[in-house]
Amino acid sequence: MNPPPSLPLILVLCTGNSCRSHMAEGILRAVSKGRFAVASAGSRPSGYVHPLALRVLGEIGIDLSTHTSKHMDTFLATPVETVITVCGNADQVCPVFPGQVNRHHWPFDDPAHAVGSEDEKLAVFRRVRDEIRRVFEAYAAGRIDATSNGSSR
Residues carrying an active site annotation: 14, 87, 94
Q: Is 34 left (phi over 0), alpha (psi -120 to 50) or beta?
A: left
Burial class of residue 120 in the structure, from the number of CB atoms within 10 Å of its CB (0-12 exposed, 13-18 middle, 19+ buried): exposed
70-to-1, 73, 87 alpha-carbon distances in Å: 11, 9, 16
Please give the torsion angle defined by the CA atoms of residues 101, 128, 91 and 2, in that order, rounded to the nearest 10 degrees: -50
Do residues 29 and 81 lie in contact, with contact meaning Cβ atoms separated by under 8 Å? Answer: no
CA dist., res. 44 & res. 101, Å (int)? 24
